[in-house]
């Protein structure tokens, strides 16, 4: 049973605010992804939990025990670094045994635990290899094993797969998820890749400029983004700024009924929620055929470009004029949702 | 010159000329010295020695002044290197990994000595030592050699410490190691090969340092190079100097083997402003 | 729970840092900075017969009015310039070759060029005498083919020049090759593509990029040569002598530290521009 409680944590680097009064509860066995662009403060937050940065204010508790005053070596956290940070002067076994030796475990136990964890990450029999002889994926597995072997209460992963290629990333992502589920270990995973977050997380925390934009289940982050930023950051989204008057949103010649009070608004429409019919104000700039579907770029008369996903790419061609029919929309004003279809 | 790189499989004439010229100018003099050391008899005008043998090796090694100079040089180098390592390595770590007021100014201040011609500086130091009665003493020579090692015994290890990935150290903290343990188990082993080169350079540099030893140490403190000067100036039997040269050369050859990698790396040249 | 003032820990760490660097910094201040200042002061305040030391340029007037001192300074300058010229003429082509050539022959040339770095100058001096000295190897070989002996450069001003060139080849080549690293292969290939001949290439593409390195070599070598001691002492003539042996003799044999300090000050002042330029170049490189 290990839960993590972060309350009102801020980190100020001389003049810039890296993390701004951040609060989050992570339940036992939960995998939470911190998602955001670079500079959003997600890595800083993770490093504060690991003990590598000291918060300017706030509290971090693990199982209701304050850890903020503890140095990294005294915290029950295990961190996997982006650049794997394996100790190149030791072999795989020595890398994994280092922490256990510090804890003065008996030799036999060390051997047993290291072998068990190597088996867990699929590197059975690699103990005597030097870390530099391993491939990138294997190195990252060793780094993961090095954290797991100490049985931390909280596992912290700082963009662990960022330096690997797409294919390997996807495989390791699944492995991490499997291992996490099997060990039921409370995990915080930092990434800037939305695919990774959507595939892995029980919950996603979308961060921007050191603040939380939204905390929600992956499907909710995708379907019901809380702010225009989240809407734009996760998946492809048409974000159209315009004005609402008499229950109608309009931008140039494009208008949609929107039952909200008059004023400015930002409309968010997924490409797959925008159907096209021949004849209208939009001019097709390009049609890209992806085989399974087509993606159409449409230019409105004022130059706004809008994307629509269609099932048959052959149905439309560049230059054709089309009418846009949204099937599901969200609308935002002052960074908050004011309307959502359904 | 760039012609040399373009068409493949063409004889590298320029390279051959350089190789030949450098071999004659650089290798041949060394071979001549080695030949002399093994020549029992070599009278003008024979191109080769009339008689080879180890006679002069035995005679040189039987001289007490050679042994006392050798043991003095080794002691001196060991003492200087040990003190230098003891005071410079912690300082290098501090420069590389800690922030404190005046860090950059102090770090670059070690360069100031390089702005002056070395022997002029030595004379200025000698004038101070004269007042302190350090002239012609062992510790006077130790001090002057020590100052000579400061710059690279700090700069090279600083570069070594800085190149250790901080995440490796953080990972060790994460695994439960305290700061001292991290330094001992992670930082030092990672930086060790480069630091070893610096220590070796310091030892060899002290072993061969001639000018400070001559100016400060003479006449009581006779190191190997100082003895060599007196052999050149006053010793009519050529072979003694030749044998001593070969003996004297051994530490340098060891250094050559171990530090070649460091010397050939770009950072070494940059250290000299290149 | 809450804000922990980080300043306390940072301050104590700062103190530890200062403590760790204190000994080498102190040693350096005592044995480099202080001697320079004290030397300057002593040189400019000659001891009067009555024991007082007023400020006076008398030592320098004496130095610059003494024909022997002047000829020593002259031979030092001559040696520096000739050595420097020879070094550049030898090392620039060598560095160019090493920068652009590949293969085992180039590796051999590189090893040979670096070799003198591992030959202590005192051994070099001995080898020099055995090869170029009277009845040395060159004489032996010339004699064997029936030619007259050479006029040996040993104990002439050319002796130190040859020794110093030999000694300085490795670092000069290293610095130049490092500087040539700034000339990209593409730049050279592009220039060849538009039809540049080797000389044009050298003049317009390569040379502009390595001026700094050449300047560094000049400063570095001037600093080293101006007060060189061992090679001039062993290989050079007894009179006139270069500044290094001259200072040593004034200090050690004539027991006149004040005059030795004056000579040291003169060499330092002659080199000050080179010194400042060199130190700035090293600092800039280290800052990168």
What pLDDT, in 10s, does the model give residues A165-201?
888 888 899 999 999 999 999 999 999 888 889 989 9
Whether C113 contacts B260, CB under 8 Å: no
Closest to B106 (Cα-Cα) out of C277, C220, C275, C23: C23
pLDDT digits (tens, 9 = 90+) for B154-203: 988 998 899 899 999 999 999 999 989 999 999 999 998 888 888 988 99
Measure A306 CA to nearest chain B CA, in Å.
Answer: 44
| Alpha carbons B87 and B150: distance in angstroms, whole number | 9
Q: In 3-state terms, chain B is what percent helix, strand and coil (to 5)?
A: 80, 0, 20
Query: Which of A54, A64, A67 would you mutate first to test chain C, the one with the most C CBs within 10 A?
Result: A54
Rounded to an integer, the average pLDDT of A226-249 is 90
- What is the torsional sign of CA A132, A137, A138, A143? positive
Q: State the pairing for strand pair A248-251/A254-257.
A: antiparallel
Cα→Cα distances C88→A292, B2, C107, C203, Å: 68, 18, 21, 15
In the predicted structure, residue B4 carries a pLDDT above the cut 60: no
* Cross-chain residue pair B29–C124, CB shorter than 8 Å: yes
Taking contacts as CB-CB distances below 8 angstroms, the residues of chain C near A66 are: 1
Taking contacts as CB-CB distances below 8 angstroms, the residues of chain C near A54 are: 4, 6
Whether A295 contacts A307, CB under 8 Å: yes
Q: Around Cβ A208, how many Cβ atoms within 10 Å?
A: 19
- In chain B, DSSP assigns E strands to 39-41, 51-52
Rounded to an integer, the average pLDDT of B67-86 is 94
Chains sharing 3 or more CB pairs under 8 A with chain A: B, C
Its ipTM equals 0.85
| Alpha carbons A239 and A329: distance in angstroms, whole number | 10
Predicted local distance difference test score (pLDDT) of residue C11: 67
Token pair, residue B2, equals 């760039």
Beta bridge partners of A34: A190, A205
Predicted local distance difference test score (pLDDT) of residue B187: 93
Whether C130 contacts B238, CB under 8 Å: yes
Rounded to an integer, the average pLDDT of A116-122 is 92
Closest to B237 (Cα-Cα) out of B56, B91, B101: B56
Closest to B108 (Cα-Cα) out of A57, C280, A234: C280
Residue in the structure block whose two tokens are 């950051």: A233
Instruction: Tell me, yes or no, if B179 comes closer than 8 A to chain C by beta carbon.
Output: no
Token pair, residue B245, equals 């040269």
- Greater confidence (B236 vs B129) lies with B129
**Confidence band of A150 (pLDDT split at 50, 70, 90):** very high
* Cross-chain residue pair B176–A82, CB shorter than 8 Å: no
Token pair, residue C1, equals 């729970």
Rounded to an integer, the average pLDDT of A131-140 is 91
Size of interface A-C (CB pairs under 8 A): 13
Taking contacts as CB-CB distances below 8 angstroms, the residues of chain C near B225 are: 120, 122, 230
| Alpha carbons A2 and A62: distance in angstroms, whole number | 7
Residues carrying CATH 3.40.50.300, chain A: 4-232
* Cross-chain residue pair C2–A54, CB shorter than 8 Å: no
3-state secondary structure of B19: helix
In the predicted structure, residue B88 carries a pLDDT above the cut 50: yes
- Mean pLDDT estimate for chain C: 87
Token pair, residue A15, equals 């003049």
Measure A152 CA to nearest chain B CA, in Å.
Answer: 10
The b-or-e profile of C181-219 (16+ CB within 10 A means b, else e) is bebeeeebeebbeeebeeeebbeebbeeebebbbbbbbb
| Alpha carbons C78 and C68: distance in angstroms, whole number | 15
Instruction: Give the DSSP letter string of C58-97.
Output: HHHHHHHH-HHHHHHHHHHHHHHHHHHHHHHHHHHHHHHH
Q: Domains of chain B: which residue ranges?
A: 63-271
Which CATH number does the domain B63-271 belong to among 1.20.120.530, 1.10.3720.10, 3.90.1150.10, 1.10.240.10?
Answer: 1.10.3720.10
pLDDT digits (tens, 9 = 90+) for C39-65: 989 888 888 888 788 888 888 999 999
Q: State the pairing for strand pair A154-158/A77-80.
A: parallel
Please name the residues between 91 and 120 in chain B that touch chain C, using a CB distance below 8 Å.
91, 93-95, 98-103, 106, 108-120
**Confidence band of B271 (pLDDT split at 50, 70, 90):** low
Token pair, residue A222, equals 């995708």
Predicted local distance difference test score (pLDDT) of residue A208: 92
Helical packing angle, C7-28 and B64-97, nearest 10° = 150
| Alpha carbons A138 and A275: distance in angstroms, whole number | 46
Residues carrying CATH 2.40.50.140, chain A: 236-340
Taking contacts as CB-CB distances below 8 angstroms, the residues of chain A near B175 are: 73, 98-99, 102, 146, 150
Predicted local distance difference test score (pLDDT) of residue C10: 60
Rounded to an integer, the average pLDDT of B114-132 is 90
pLDDT digits (tens, 9 = 90+) for C86-120: 999 999 999 989 888 888 888 899 889 988 888 88
* Cross-chain residue pair A89–B177, CB shorter than 8 Å: no
| Alpha carbons A155 and C84: distance in angstroms, whole number | 63
Predicted local distance difference test score (pLDDT) of residue B266: 61
Predicted local distance difference test score (pLDDT) of residue C192: 81
Token pair, residue A13, equals 């680097």
Cα→Cα distances A330→A206, A248, A339, C154, Å: 18, 14, 6, 94
* Cross-chain residue pair A59–C2, CB shorter than 8 Å: yes
How many separate helices (H) and strands (E) can be counted in chain B? Answer: 14, 2
The b-or-e profile of C135-174 (16+ CB within 10 A means b, else e) is ebbbbbeebeeeeeeeebbbbebbbbbbbbbbbbbbbbbb
- Greater confidence (A70 vs B44) lies with A70
Helices marked H in chain A: 42-50, 92-102, 107-120, 136-148, 166-183, 194-200, 218-223, 228-233
Superfamily of domain A236-340: Nucleic acid-binding proteins (2.40.50.140)
Whether C83 contacts C228, CB under 8 Å: no
- Greater confidence (A286 vs C191) lies with A286
CATH class of this structure's domain A4-232: alpha beta
Predicted local distance difference test score (pLDDT) of residue C90: 94
In the predicted structure, residue B267 carries a pLDDT above the cut 80: no
Predicted local distance difference test score (pLDDT) of residue C5: 42
Query: CB-CB: which of A52, A71, A98 is closest to B175?
Result: A98
pLDDT digits (tens, 9 = 90+) for C270-280: 899 888 888 88
Helices marked H in chain C: 7-28, 34-44, 58-65, 67-100, 104-114, 121-132, 137-144, 158-180, 185-193, 198-200, 207-226, 230-235, 243-248, 257-287
Predicted local distance difference test score (pLDDT) of residue C124: 92
pLDDT digits (tens, 9 = 90+) for C222-244: 988 888 899 999 999 988 999 99
- Mean pLDDT estimate for chain A: 91
pLDDT digits (tens, 9 = 90+) for C166-184: 999 999 998 898 888 888 8
Token pair, residue C110, equals 């590189």
Query: CB-CB: which of A79, A83, A87 is closest to B174?
Result: A79
Q: Domains of chain C: which residue ranges?
A: 20-46+55-65, 67-287
| Alpha carbons C252 and C245: distance in angstroms, whole number | 10
Rounded to an integer, the average pLDDT of C120-142 is 90
Predicted local distance difference test score (pLDDT) of residue C209: 81
The b-or-e profile of A285-308 (16+ CB within 10 A means b, else e) is eebeeeeeebbbbbebeeebebbb
Query: Which of C15, C30, C109 would you mutate first to test chain B, the one with the most B CBs within 10 A?
Result: C109
Percent of chain B with pLDDT over 90: 44
**Confidence band of C283 (pLDDT split at 50, 70, 90):** confident
Predicted local distance difference test score (pLDDT) of residue B270: 66
Predicted local distance difference test score (pLDDT) of residue B197: 85
| Alpha carbons A216 and A214: distance in angstroms, whole number | 6
Helices marked H in C158-197: 158-180, 185-193
Architecture (CATH level 2) of domain C67-287 = Orthogonal Bundle (1.10)
Rg, Å, chain C Cα set: 25
**To which H or E segment does residue B161 belong?**
helix B138-162
Backbone angles phi, psi at A162, to 5 degrees: -60, -30
Is the preceding peptide bond at B17 cis, omega within 30 degrees of 0? no
* Cross-chain residue pair B150–C28, CB shorter than 8 Å: yes
> Which residues lie below 8 Å from residue B102, measured CB to CB, with a gap of 6+?
C18
Instruction: Tell me, yes or no, if C6 comes closer than 8 A to chain A by beta carbon.
Output: yes
């Amino acid at each position: 049973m290990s839960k993590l409680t972060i309350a009102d944590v801020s980190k100020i680097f001389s003049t810039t605010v890296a993390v701004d009064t951040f609060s989050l509860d992570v339940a036992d066995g939960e995998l939470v992804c911190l998602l955001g662009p670079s500079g959003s403060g997600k890595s800083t937050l993770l490093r504060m939990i690991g003990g590598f940065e000291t918060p300017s204010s706030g509290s971090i508790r693990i199982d209701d025990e304050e850890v903020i005053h503890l140095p990294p070596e005294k915290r029950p956290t295990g961190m996997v670094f982006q650049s794997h940070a394996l100790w190149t002067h030791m072999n795989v076994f020595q890398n994994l045994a280092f922490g256990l030796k510090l804890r003065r475990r008996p030799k036999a136990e060390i051997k047993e635990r290291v072998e068990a964890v190597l088996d867990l990450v699929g590197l059975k029999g690699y103990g005597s290899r030097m870390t530099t002889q391993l491939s990138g994926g294997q190195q990252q597995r060793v780094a993961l094993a090095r954290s797991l072997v100490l049985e931390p209460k909280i596992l912290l992963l700082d963009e662990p797969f960022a330096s690997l290629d797409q294919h390997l990333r996807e495989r390791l992502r699944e492995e991490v998820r499997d291992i996490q589920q099997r060990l039921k270990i409370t995990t915080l995973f930092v990434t800037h890749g939305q695919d990774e977050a959507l595939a892995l997380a029980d919950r996603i925390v979308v961060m921007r400029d050191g603040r939380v934009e939204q905390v929600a289940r992956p499907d909710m982050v995708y379907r019901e983004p809380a702010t225009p930023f989240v809407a734009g950051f996760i998946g492809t989204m048409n974000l159209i700024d315009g004005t609402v008057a008499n229950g109608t949103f309009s931008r140039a010649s494009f208008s949609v009924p929107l039952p909200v009070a008059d004023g400015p608004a930002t409309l968010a429409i997924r490409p797959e929620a925008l159907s096209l019919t021949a004849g209208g104000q939009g001019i097709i700039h390009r049609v890209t055929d992806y085989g399974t579907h087509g993606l159409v770029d449409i230019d409105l008369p004022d130059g706004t470009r809008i994307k629509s996903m269609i099932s048959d790419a052959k149905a439309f061609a560049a230059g054709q004029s089309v009418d846009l029919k949204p099937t599901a929309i969200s609308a935002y004003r002052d960074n908050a949702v004011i309307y959502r279809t359904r | 010159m760039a012609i040399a790189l373009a068409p493949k499989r063409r004889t590298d004439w320029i390279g051959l000329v350089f190789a030949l010229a450098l071999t004659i100018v650089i290798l041949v003099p060394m071979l001549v010295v080695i030949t002399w050391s093994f020549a029992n008899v070599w009278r003008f005008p024979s191109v080769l020695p009339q008689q080879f043998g180890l006679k002069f090796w035995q005679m040189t090694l039987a001289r007490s002044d050679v042994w006392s100079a050798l043991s003095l040089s080794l002691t001196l180098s060991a003492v200087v290197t040990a003190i230098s390592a003891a005071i410079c390595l912690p300082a290098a770590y501090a420069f590389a990994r800690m922030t404190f007021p005046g860090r950059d100014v102090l770090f670059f201040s070690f360069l100031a000595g390089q702005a002056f011609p070395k022997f002029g500086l030595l004379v200025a130091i000698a004038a101070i030592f004269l007042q302190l009665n350090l002239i012609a003493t062992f510790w006077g020579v130790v001090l002057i050699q020590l100052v000579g090692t400061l710059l690279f015994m700090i700069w090279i290890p600083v570069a070594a410490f800085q190149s250790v990935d901080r995440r490796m150290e953080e990972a060790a903290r994460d695994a439960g190691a305290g700061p001292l343990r991290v330094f001992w188990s992670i930082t030092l082993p990672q930086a060790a090969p480069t630091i070893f080169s610096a220590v070796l350079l310091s030892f060899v540099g002290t072993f061969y340092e001639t000018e400070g030893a001559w100016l400060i140490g003479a006449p009581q403190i006779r190191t190997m190079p100082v003895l060599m000067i007196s052999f050149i100036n006053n010793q009519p039997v050529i072979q003694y100097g030749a044998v001593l040269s070969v003996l004297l050369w051994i530490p340098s050859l060891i250094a050559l083997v171990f530090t070649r990698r460091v010397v050939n790396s770009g950072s070494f040249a940059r250290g000299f402003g290149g | 729970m809450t804000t922990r003032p980080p300043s306390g820990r940072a301050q104590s760490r700062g103190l530890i840092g200062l403590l760790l660097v204190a000994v080498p910094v102190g040693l350096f201040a005592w044995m480099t900075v202080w001697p320079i200042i004290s030397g300057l002061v002593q040189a400019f305040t000659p001891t009067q017969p009555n024991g007082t030391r007023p400020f006076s340029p008398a030592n320098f007037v004496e130095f610059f009015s003494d024909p022997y001192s002047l000829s020593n300074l002259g031979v030092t300058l001559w040696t520096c310039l000739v050595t420097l010229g020879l070094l550049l003429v030898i090392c620039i082509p060598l560095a160019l070759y090493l920068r652009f050539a590949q293969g085992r022959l180039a590796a051999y040339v590189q090893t040979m060029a670096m070799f003198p770095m591992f030959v202590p100058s005192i051994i070099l001096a001995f080898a020099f005498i055995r090869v170029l000295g009277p009845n040395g190897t060159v004489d032996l070989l010339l004699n064997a083919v029936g030619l007259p002996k050479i006029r040996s450069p040993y104990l002439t001003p050319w002796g130190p020049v040859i020794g110093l060139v030999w000694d300085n080849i490795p670092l000069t080549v290293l610095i130049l090759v490092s500087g040539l690293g700034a000339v990209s292969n593409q730049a050279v290939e592009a220039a060849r593509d538009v039809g540049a001949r080797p000389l044009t290439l050298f003049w317009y593409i390569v040379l502009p990029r390595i001026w700094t390195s050449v300047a560094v070599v000049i400063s570095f070598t001037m600093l080293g040569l101006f007060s060189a001691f061992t090679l001039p002492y062993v290989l050079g003539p007894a009179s006139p002598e270069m500044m290094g042996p001259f200072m040593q003799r004034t200090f050690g044999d004539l027991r006149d530290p004040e005059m030795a300090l004056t000579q040291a000050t003169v060499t330092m002042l002659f080199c000050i521009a080179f010194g400042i330029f060199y130190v700035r170049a090293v600092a800039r490189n280290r800052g990168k």
